[in-house]
Amino acid sequence: MSKKALITGGCGFIGRHVTEELLAHGYSVAVLDSLVEQVHGDTPPARDHRIEYHFGDIRDPQSVQEALKGADLVVHLASEVGVGQSMYEIARYVGVNDLGTAVLLECLIDRPVERLVMASSMSVYGEGLYETTDGERFGQAKRRREQLQSGRWDPVDADGRPLKPIATDEEKPVELASIYALTKYAQERAVLIFGEAYPVETVALRLFNVFGPGQALSNPYTGVLANFASRLANGEPPLIFEDGGQKRDFVHVRDVARAFRLALESKSAVGQVVNIGSGNAYTIRQVAELTADAMGMPEVQPEILGKMRSGDIRHCFADISKAHDLLGFEPLHRLEEAVGEFTEWVRETGAVDNAARMRRQLEERGLVS
């Protein structure tokens, strides 16, 4: 008899791919989703006869209890996502992410499952891991507002010496630079603490920048690749904060979906926090140029704003050796090869460009300078 997995946020970008991954490997699937307009638009998602649907808020105990009926496993994805927006819609982000997780955990006391795997975020690291000029690990890099306002983007050590960004592993101390990061860390710790206290195995996956077909193209607060493609599809250049030299790790959503399945199945993952990324670093300018090339618009150069955005960090890309060791995880879809498929999907789908509105909303609140 197949196991049944409940996926909270199962109608979202990552949720739909996790659903397909689990169905393809013999699981039965239920989803719980509130269909937030910012993510889903005003058109209800198409129904799949293989899936048991529950539409309700993760903060509503009755909705969660109903969705949990018969579930053996839970993948917890329901979350508000967006560093910039979290800096002014604070109650919304804390409410959905932290209170929503608390409601889920309380429901699991009465309706325990075998395992709960939750989506955490690379944002909990703040700045990624660095190396000093002496070759030592440096995990406490911070950027001060006055430094950023003068256009000095890269962190330095206590003596003002340059730091070299290196792959960030799970041993790097957290440094919460945004309300979104704070909520994800609270979710992560709550889930793992719950797993120590109750007979529910728990795992937290720290996701790096996820991309692929199915992203919310109208939501400017999440998915830099989607933002760039949406701008280009509407004849506008990608908008880049700072100087475009900041480095990130981009991991394909199908690789992420596979990581969630592996985390449901691997005994060695229980009680662990695990990075899920590609293990590669790309500058944001490089990503903008790759996207423009893939869309047949290589002549369109990104608009470099030279401004800082509150809550942003400079460099963070993943060390995925723990995912390899505990999950047997290996990314299969590199950005360079997969960006063409993604941009083709953008062209076919159509995209609303809301990047300028996002920038205006942040500027009005003094979060860009």
What is the Cα–Cα distance from 36 to 56, expressed in whole angstroms? 10
**Side-chain half-sphere CA neighbours of 281 within 13 A:** 16
What beta strand segments (E) does 100-218 contain? 115-121, 130-131, 137-138, 164-165, 201-207, 209-211
Binned at pLDDT 50, 70 and 90, residue 246 comes out as very high
Active-site choice (93, 180, 221, 282)? 180
- How is residue 75 annotated by DSSP? E
- Looking at per-residue pLDDT, the higher value among 233 and 44 belongs to 233
Residue with the two structure tokens 């399945």: 261
Binned at pLDDT 50, 70 and 90, residue 235 comes out as confident
Q: Return the pLDDT at 130.
A: 97
* pLDDT, averaged across the chain: 90
In the chain the domains, ranked by start, together with CATH numbers, are 4-364 (3.40.50.720)
Q: Return the pLDDT at 199.
A: 96
Per-residue pLDDT at 209 exceeds 90:
yes
Binned at pLDDT 50, 70 and 90, residue 353 comes out as low
Per-residue pLDDT at 68 exceeds 90:
yes
What is the Cα–Cα distance from 48 to 46, expressed in whole angstroms? 7
Residue with the two structure tokens 């508000």: 80
Binned at pLDDT 50, 70 and 90, residue 351 comes out as low
**What distance, in Å, lies between the first and last C-alpha atoms of the chain?**
57
- Cα-to-chain-centroid distance, residue 40: 16
Binned at pLDDT 50, 70 and 90, residue 121 comes out as very high
Binned at pLDDT 50, 70 and 90, residue 330 comes out as very high
Q: Return the pLDDT at 219.
A: 60
What is the Cα–Cα distance from 87 to 318, expressed in whole angstroms? 24
Check if the beta carbon of residue 22 is closer than 8 Å to that of residue 14. no
Which amino acid is it at 134? D
Q: What is the arithmetic mean of pLDDT over 148-157?
A: 87
Per-residue pLDDT at 172 exceeds 80:
yes
Question: For this structure, is 88 an active site residue?
Answer: no
Q: Return the pLDDT at 266.
A: 97
Least confident range from 96-110, 138-152, 270-284: namely 138-152
Pick from 192, 190, 201, 331: nearest CA to 268: 201
